[in-house]
Amino acid sequence: MPLHLHTCPDDEAALIDLARRGDAGARARLVAIWTPAVFRFAARMMGNDQDGHDVAQETLVKVLRNLDRYDPQWRFATWVFSIARNQCIDDLRRRRLRSPAEAPEAVCDRPSPLEHTRRNQDAARLQEALAALPELYREVLLLYHFEQLKYQEIATLLQIPIGTVMNRIFRARNKLRERWGALGGDLDTVGIEAAG
């Protein structure tokens, strides 16, 4: 699902400026605008909605606390997603360091009646296929296809050359196609080209 902001760049700059100066309404508006996109990204990176909510909340708190560090020469989206990405990485590292005794109990994944529809089955399969990808491939696919950042924005965010971004997206699509096919899905149904 693409990122759709309800502000034009000039409105966004004015909103950020007001939020920097402590305007509670502007700060609340920024959170309202960015919560859905940050949550989608975080939930897909973390592999579940619960952790996605936690990461999204932590990310938006950091965004508000650090507005004075935002450099307007870069797109605000790039800055926000860099914070979200770093928060995901930190949380995934903490999760790996947890002992099995500290790991949270498995959540019951009993299918609901709505999950019997093809759309929800495809969404579940896609989530599973994405979760199976190595993190470096998963994050570029999420940023490019789901949040619709451009190659250069992803390169800036990840601090890697643009050619590496293009290569990772190409490889990620192929790996996703293999995994998705093994799960019985068709990438055309979710709008991700398999290669190219």
Q: What is the pLDDT of residue 131?
A: 85
Q: What is the pLDDT of residue 7?
A: 43
Phi then psi for 99, rounded to 5 degrees? -75, 160
Of the pLDDT bands very low, low, confident and very high (cuts 50, 70, 90), residue 96 is confident
Is a pLDDT exceeding 70 seen at residue 135?
Answer: yes
Mean per-residue pLDDT over the chain, rounded: 80
Compute how many other C-beta atoms are within 10 angstroms of the C-beta atom of residue 185.
Answer: 20
Domain boundary among 50, 80, 107: 107
Angle at 35 between CA 114 and CA 68, to 5 degrees: 170
Q: What is the pLDDT of residue 103?
A: 47
CATH code of 175's domain: 1.10.10.10
Q: Do 103 and 147 fall into the same domain?
A: no
Q: Which domain holds residue 155?
A: 112-196
The encoded tokens of residue 196 equal 């190219």
